[in-house]
């Protein structure tokens, strides 16, 4: 049997990152092939290459056994390949029907045939058993309904290859069941389906084969039904465990610096409670969209909360804005330095002083540049920031040194509680260990540190204790040095585990 | 399936977003309030002659604002509409007066000049990826300079083409119904409004206009040739500006090369008051028409009440901020 799609030796680099190294993938007609791997393993990149969003640097793609050049979404569609993107690619101001048929509107001569458009869309919705008015603007639909519109759009292409990137991320159980019914039907019609998901329980229900990727490389392909979930997790995590684990100081007697109780907001944050002691590093692990950043932003007052209370040093505090949080002694270092953490066009000195300008303001409101320079130079020495001078523009520093500048800014503000969101994202390995050393030093000084990281080795290396989240809930705490498998299990522990997810249930009990 | 609507009528309002309709209602009631206030304040305000004067005064800005609307719905902006209008008028002058061509050649020449300029702006935006604000700012200055160069910096009069003034000032309707001497300029404004409304709601170009402003990346990922449609949008806007050039030249019976800069701001003001979002994706021609009318009614009414021109400008500024703030308030409530 000639595979529907066969990709071999696919390489892809982005500036500073090698996203794919000799990756491979094979899809048969009428199979559901799950593609698994940790965040950043290269699953989405590989599928974006297949669907023409990116083009590969090297490698071969065969469709029906014939070499194919896929230089854009249009070529992919012509080959019968469509993709449902993870981040919804819809036009919010257009109606559901208009979105589905964008670029292929039925026409009567020069004019659009709106009636036929709505009729065709309705037929697709009916075949999906979906009650949705095709005339409704997409922006007025819930995320789940928008996801269904995306699926309807992909179905409308009558594709032979359908790629679904985390299609169930926003769906509830009934909607997931509907989706799986559709997938079964397509499968029977001979469509090949690539299913990217983090959810182990879904795998067992619908996948025929599973291909696992790690760090942009192909790890292996196994039959879904016969392979225990533990084995798949083992393949995802790999055996290349970091040798260095955290040295855990005894903080049991230290006072609690920050405690949160029952934080809640919609589906994103569900009844999250935890405490961090002075001198402790609490790591937050979980998959993308688990709600870790949302929790951090809520504590920092950047997003509103529906319920819950926050205690600093045992006293309840009201935090309605980042200003309140800083006043309470909480600093937050965003995962997106360039957008939220740094004024990249300003120099190092001003970036360090930015959150504490009041301290450098003289009697007449004029900034005392000399004092700012002294402080900045002090931090450059203390944190070993590599910069020619304190007047260097922040954007010219390397990622690791930019991160140090942000850390200096919060140290100057003297926050006893620091939340680091993906502190080493986009930083090269050498600089990473420097940041780790710095975080350990900060904890040793008695600060309470929260580290959110999607890289398991990083969580393991830094954390004195590990909190794991999944779908807005805190699914459990683990001690330092817990096996990666345990973390992954908690990170995929969905509240609505379906019948075939026995192993997950056992892990929960 | 219970929620699938049963009616299948091809709605006339197909291109109108629900929230756009709300804002237009807001702008429309604003217009009504202004009309009531001014007619109570002055008996002369609602005289036929004055109403026609208001409409005639709206025609140029109205047509320009419709051109601006098309581009703004894509999430872009066209700052060159004012000086392009003048450029098109100068082209008509060169063809008709300096070269003695017949009237239809002048008319087509002006519209073609607008279309070509739009094609160029669109190409700069789509292919060279220059942000629309910068691309059309450059085009604004280029066209301003070219108008002066081509005309030798002097006004060109249309005295040799007697039919030319009829384009805006004559009255086809008046020749049929003498009691209703609606100037042709007003007729042209409404025709342009109807045609462009139709294009926006019923053609592929219109669909992609909204789609681009809504989520350009999504349109690209759907396999649509985004660049080609974007260039088409700017070209369509350019041809509409050509019509505005003919209207203003006809009303002044001359092409005034020094005129034009500043008109783009009035046009954008009308678009914004009419509820079209500057971030793209939503907007209507009808809203823009109402926005342009609000600006001229204000100017006319305040003049009748002997309010100084300087204050009219202040009031227009306040109205713009108020209109957009009302929209923000509505969104916050949702």
Task: Summarize pLDDT for B241-269 with one digit per residue, the tens.
Answer: 999 999 999 999 999 999 988 999 999 99
- In tens, the pLDDT along A140-177 reads 887 778 888 988 888 888 889 999 988 887 777 788 88
CA distance A68 to chain B (A): 17
Q: What is the rounded average pLDDT for all residues in chain B?
A: 89
Say which residues have a Cβ less than 8 Å from residue B195's Cβ, sequence separation at least 6. none
The residue with greater pLDDT, B280 or A39, is B280
**CB < 8 Å to B4, chain A:** 122, 125, 131-134
CA distance B90 to chain A (A): 33
Strands (E), A155-247: 161-165, 192-196, 209-214, 217-223
- Give residue B285's pLDDT: 96
- In tens, the pLDDT along B291-328 reads 999 999 999 999 888 888 888 889 888 988 888 887 77
CA dihedral in degrees (B126, B128, B129, B130; nearest 10)? -110
Say whether residue A481 is in contact with chain B using an 8 A CB cutoff.
no
Note every long-range contact of B317-323, with CB atoms under 8 Å and residues 24 or more positions apart, other chains counting.
B319/B30, B319/B273, B319/B294, B319/B295, B320/B269, B320/B272, B320/B273, B323/B26, B323/B27, B323/B30, B323/B272, B323/B273, B323/B275, B323/B291
- Give residue A265's pLDDT: 92
Cβ contact B204–A105 (<8 Å): yes
User: Which of A89, A135, A137 is opposite residue B221, by nearest beta carbon?
Assistant: A89
Class of domain B18-34+44-327: mainly alpha
Say whether residue B279 is in contact with chain A using an 8 A CB cutoff.
no
Asked whether the predicted pLDDT for residue B203 surpasses 50, the reply is yes
- Domains of chain A plus CATH, in order, are 1-80+159-238 (3.40.50.300), 91-157 (no CATH), 256-348+412-508 (3.40.50.300)
C-beta separation of A299 from A319 below 8 A: yes
Q: How confident is the model at residue A246 (pLDDT cuts 50, 70, 90)?
A: low
Cβ under 8 Å to B: A residues 33-92: 53, 72-74, 76-77, 85, 89-92
Say whether residue A366 is in contact with chain B using an 8 A CB cutoff.
no
- Tell me how many degrees the CA angle A468-A471-A476 measures, rounded to the nearest 5: 25
Say which residues have a Cβ less than 8 Å from residue A498's Cβ, sequence separation at least 6. A173, A201, A202, A205
- Give residue B231's pLDDT: 97
Say whether residue B23 is in contact with chain A using an 8 A CB cutoff.
no
**CB < 8 Å to A163, chain B:** none
How many angstroms separate the CA atoms of A149 and A133, rounded? 11
**DSSP letter for each residue of A279-343:** T-EEEEEE-TTSSHHHHHHHHTTSS--SEEEEEETTEEE--SSHHHHHHTTEEEE-S-IIIII--
**CB < 8 Å to B2, chain A:** 131
Q: What are the tokens at A208?
A: 């025929």
How many angstroms separate the CA atoms of A483 and A460, rounded? 9
Say whether residue A118 is in contact with chain B using an 8 A CB cutoff.
yes
If you measure CA to CA, which chain B residue comes closest to A129?
Answer: B1
- Give residue A81's pLDDT: 93
Asked whether the predicted pLDDT for residue A423 surpasses 80, the reply is yes
- Tell me how many degrees the CA angle B25-B26-B28 measures, rounded to the nearest 5: 60
Asked whether the predicted pLDDT for residue B173 surpasses 80, the reply is yes
Three-state SS for A36?
strand
If you measure CA to CA, which chain B residue comes closest to A95?
Answer: B17
Cβ contact A102–B203 (<8 Å): no
- Give residue B6's pLDDT: 37
C-beta separation of A235 from A212 below 8 A: yes
**CB < 8 Å to A94, chain B:** 207, 210-211, 214
How many angstroms separate the CA atoms of B253 and B160, rounded? 10
- Give residue B63's pLDDT: 98
How many angstroms separate the CA atoms of A105 and B209, rounded? 14
Of all residues in chain A, the percent with pLDDT exceeding 90 is 40
Name the nearest CA neighbour of B38 among B55, B23, B57, B51.
B51
Q: Residues A191-220: what's their mean pLDDT?
A: 89
Tell which of A75, A85, A114, A154 to mutate to test the B interface (max B CBs under 10 Å). Answer: A114
Tokens 């297949």 correspond to A50
How many angstroms separate the CA atoms of A466 and A478, rounded? 5
Name A60's bridge partners: A8
- Give residue A344's pLDDT: 75
Name A137's bridge partners: A95
Cβ contact A102–B224 (<8 Å): yes
How many angstroms separate the CA atoms of B257 and A468, rounded? 70
Tokens 């000084």 correspond to A445
Alpha helices (H) in A32-101, listed in sequence order:
43-50, 73-78, 96-100
Q: Residues A358-377: what's their mean pLDDT?
A: 86
Tell which of B198, B218, B280, B334 to mutate to test the A interface (max A CBs under 10 Å). Answer: B218
Say whether residue A105 is in contact with chain B using an 8 A CB cutoff.
yes
If you measure CA to CA, which chain A residue comes closest to B199?
Answer: A111
C-beta separation of A164 from A32 below 8 A: no
Continuous segment of H or E residues that includes residue A41: none
- Tell me how many degrees the CA angle B195-B201-B206 measures, rounded to the nearest 5: 85
Tell which of A73, A86, A97, A102 to mutate to test the B interface (max B CBs under 10 Å). Answer: A102
Say whether residue A133 is in contact with chain B using an 8 A CB cutoff.
yes
Tell which of A72, A82, A91, A119 to mutate to test the B interface (max B CBs under 10 Å). Answer: A91
Q: Which stretch of A225-229, A475-479, B142-146 has the lowest confidence by average pLDDT?
A: A225-229
Q: What is the rounded average pLDDT for all residues in chain A?
A: 86
Q: How confident is the model at residue B277 (pLDDT cuts 50, 70, 90)?
A: confident
How many angstroms separate the CA atoms of A144 and A137, rounded? 14
- Give residue A432's pLDDT: 76
Say whether residue B224 is in contact with chain A using an 8 A CB cutoff.
yes
Name A213's bridge partners: A218
C-beta separation of A66 from A96 below 8 A: no
C-beta separation of A261 from A308 below 8 A: yes
How many angstroms separate the CA atoms of A427 and B188, rounded? 61
Q: Is the dihedral of CA B93, B97, B100, B103 positive or negative?
A: positive
How many angstroms separate the CA atoms of A25 and A487, rounded? 27
Three-state SS for B255?
strand
Say whether residue B179 is in contact with chain A using an 8 A CB cutoff.
no
Say whether residue A142 is in contact with chain B using an 8 A CB cutoff.
no
Name the nearest CA neighbour of B122 among B108, B139, B143, B147.
B139
**CB < 8 Å to A125, chain B:** 1, 4
CA distance A125 to chain B (A): 9
User: Which of A53, A92, A111 is opposite residue B215, by nearest beta carbon?
Assistant: A92
**CB < 8 Å to A103, chain B:** 219, 222-224
How many angstroms separate the CA atoms of A464 and A446, rounded? 14
If you measure CA to CA, which chain B residue comes closest to A157?
Answer: B222
Cβ contact A91–B5 (<8 Å): no
C-beta separation of B137 from B84 below 8 A: no
- Give residue B2's pLDDT: 38
Tokens 């239809």 correspond to B104
Q: Which stretch of A62-71, B11-20, B102-111 has the lowest confidence by average pLDDT?
A: B11-20
Cβ contact B2–A131 (<8 Å): yes
- CB neighbours of residue A504 within 10 Å: 20
If you measure CA to CA, which chain B residue comes closest to A134?
Answer: B4
Say whether residue B215 is in contact with chain A using an 8 A CB cutoff.
yes
Q: Residues B207-228: what's their mean pLDDT?
A: 90
How many angstroms separate the CA atoms of A12 and A25, rounded? 14
CA A212, distance to chain mean position in Å, is 18
Q: Residues A61-88: what's their mean pLDDT?
A: 88
**CB < 8 Å to A140, chain B:** 18
Q: What are the tokens at B77?
A: 């902006």
The one-character DSSP state at A356 is G
- Give residue A244's pLDDT: 59
If you measure CA to CA, which chain A residue comes closest to B225?
Answer: A103
Tell which of B9, B73, B222, B225 to mutate to test the A interface (max A CBs under 10 Å). Answer: B222
Say whether residue A395 is in contact with chain B using an 8 A CB cutoff.
no
How many angstroms separate the CA atoms of A274 and A469, rounded? 12
C-beta separation of A133 from B5 below 8 A: yes
Q: Please state, in angstroms and as integers, the Cα–Cα distance from residue A383 to each residue in A256, A376, A403, B245, following that order.
A: 27, 11, 11, 64
Cβ under 8 Å to B: A residues 396-435: none
Domain boundaries, chain B: 18-34+44-327
User: Which of A76, A89, A112 is opposite residue B204, by nearest beta carbon?
Assistant: A112
Name the nearest CA neighbour of A193 among A304, A57, A47, A15.
A47
C-beta separation of A83 from A154 below 8 A: yes
Report the half-sphere exposure of A485 (CA within 13 A, side-chain side): 13
- Give residue A500's pLDDT: 36
- Give residue A495's pLDDT: 62
Cβ contact B10–A114 (<8 Å): yes
Asked whether the predicted pLDDT for residue A506 surpasses 70, the reply is no
- B263-273 and B309-333 are packed helices; what angle lies between their axes, rounded to 10 degrees? 40
Name the nearest CA neighbour of A25 among A6, A12, A45, A2.
A6
**CB < 8 Å to B8, chain A:** 115, 118-119
Cβ contact A85–B4 (<8 Å): no
Q: Please state, in angstroms and as integers, the Cα–Cα distance from residue A135 to each residue in A138, A328, B53, following that order.
A: 9, 49, 41
The residue with greater pLDDT, B13 or A117, is A117
Cβ contact A94–B203 (<8 Å): no
How many angstroms separate the CA atoms of A19 and A23, rounded? 10
Q: Are strands A209-214 and A217-223 parallel, antiparallel or unpaired?
A: antiparallel
- Give residue A174's pLDDT: 80
- Give residue A38's pLDDT: 75
């Amino acid at each position: 049997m000639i595979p529907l799609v066969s990709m071999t030796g696919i390489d892809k680099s982005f500036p500073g990152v090698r996203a794919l190294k000799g990756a491979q993938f094979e899809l048969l007609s009428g199979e559901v092939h799950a593609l698994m791997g940790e965040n950043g393993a290269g699953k989405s990149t590989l599928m974006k290459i297949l669907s023409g969003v990116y083009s590969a640097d090297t490698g071969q793609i065969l469709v029906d056994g014939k070499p194919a050049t896929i230089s854009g979404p249009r070529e992919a569609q012509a080959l019968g390949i469509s993709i449902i993107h993870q981040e919804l690619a819809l036009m919010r101001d257009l109606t559901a029907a208009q979105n589905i048929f964008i670029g292929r509107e039925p026409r009567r001569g020069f004019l659009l045939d709106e009636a036929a458009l709505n009729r065709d869309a309705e037929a697709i919705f009916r075949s999906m058993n979906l009650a949705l008015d095709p005339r409704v603007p997409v922006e007025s639909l819930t995320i789940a309904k928008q996801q269904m519109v995306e699926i309807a759009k992909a179905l409308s292409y009558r594709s032979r290859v359908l790629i679904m990137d985390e299609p169930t991320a926003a769906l509830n159980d009934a909607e997931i069941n509907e989706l799986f019914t559709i997938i079964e039907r397509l499968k029977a019609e001979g469509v090949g389906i690539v299913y990217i998901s983090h959810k182990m329980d879904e795998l067992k229900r619908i996948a025929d084969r599973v291909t696992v990727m790690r760090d942009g490389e192909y790890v292996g392909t196994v039959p879904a039904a016969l392979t225990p979930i533990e084995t798949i997790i083992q393949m995802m995590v790999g055996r290349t465990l970091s040798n260095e684990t955290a040295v855990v100081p005894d903080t049991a007697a230290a006072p609690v610096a920050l405690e949160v109780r029952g934080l809640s907001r919609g589906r994103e944050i569900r009844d999250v409670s935890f405490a961090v002691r002075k001198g402790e590093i609490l790591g937050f692990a979980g998959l993308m969209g688990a709600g870790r950043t949302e929790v951090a932003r809520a504590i920092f007052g950047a997003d509103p909360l529906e319920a819950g209370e926050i205690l600093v040093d045992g006293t309840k505090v009201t935090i309605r804005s980042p200003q309140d949080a800083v006043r309470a002694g909480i600093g937050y270092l965003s995962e997106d330095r360039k957008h939220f953490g740094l004024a990249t066009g300003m120099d190092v000195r001003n970036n360090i002083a930015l959150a504490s300008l009041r301290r450098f303001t003289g009697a007449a409101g004029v900034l005392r540049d000399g004092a700012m320079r002294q402080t900045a130079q002090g931090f450059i020495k203390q944190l070993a920031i590599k910069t020619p001078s304190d007047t260097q523009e922040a954007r010219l520093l390397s990622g690791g040194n930019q991160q140090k500048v942000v850390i200096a800014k919060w140290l100057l503000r003297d926050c006893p509680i620091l939340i680091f969101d993906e502190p080493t994202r986009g930083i090269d390995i050498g600089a990473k260990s420097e940041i780790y050393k710095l975080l350990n030093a900060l904890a040793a000084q008695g600060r309470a540190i929260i580290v959110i990281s999607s890289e398991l080795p990083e969580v393991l290396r830094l954390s004195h204790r590990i909190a794991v989240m999944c779908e807005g809930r805190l699914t459990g705490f683990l001690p330092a040095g817990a096996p990666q498998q345990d973390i992954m299990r908690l990170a995929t522990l969905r509240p609505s585990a379906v019948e075939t997810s026995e192993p997950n249930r056992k892990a929960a009990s | 399936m219970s929620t699938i609507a049963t009616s299948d009528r091809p709605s006339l309002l197909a291109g109108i977003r629900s929230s756009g309709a709300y804002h237009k209602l807001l702008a429309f009631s604003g217009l009504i309030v202004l009309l009531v206030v001014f007619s109570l304040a002055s008996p002369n305000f609602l005289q036929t002659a004055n109403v026609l004067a208001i409409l005639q005064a709206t025609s140029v800005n109205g047509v320009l604002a419709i051109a601006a609307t098309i581009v703004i719905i894509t999430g872009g902006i066209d700052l060159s509409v004012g000086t392009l209008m003048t450029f098109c008028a100068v082209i008509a002058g060169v063809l008709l007066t300096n070269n003695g061509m017949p009237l239809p050649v002048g008319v087509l020449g002006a519209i073609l000049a607008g279309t070509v300029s739009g094609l160029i702006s669109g190409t700069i935006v789509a292919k060279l990826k220059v942000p629309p604000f910068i691309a059309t700012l450059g085009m604004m200055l280029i066209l301003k300079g070219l108008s002066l160069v081509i005309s030798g910096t002097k006004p060109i009069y249309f005295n040799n083409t007697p039919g030319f003034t009829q384009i805006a000032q004559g009255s086809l309707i008046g020749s049929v119904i003498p009691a209703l001497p609606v100037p042709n300029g007003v007729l042209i404004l409404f025709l342009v409004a109807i045609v462009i409304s139709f294009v926006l709601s019923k053609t592929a170009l219109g669909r992609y206009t909204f789609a681009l402003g809504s989520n350009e990346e999504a349109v690209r990922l759907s396999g649509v040739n985004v660049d080609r449609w974007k260039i088409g949008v700017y070209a369509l806007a350019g041809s509409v500006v050509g019509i505005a050039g003919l209207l203003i030249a006809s009303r002044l019976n001359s092409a005034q090369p020094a005129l034009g800069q500043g008109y783009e701001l009035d046009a954008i003001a009308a678009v914004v008051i009419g509820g079209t979002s500057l971030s793209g994706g939503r907007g209507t021609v009808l809203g823009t028409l109402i926005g342009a009318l609000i600006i001229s009614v204000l100017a006319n009414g305040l003049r009748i009440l002997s309010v100084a021109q300087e204050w009219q400008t202040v009031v227009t500024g306040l109205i713009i901020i108020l209109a957009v703030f009302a929209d923000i308030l509505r969104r916050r409530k949702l």
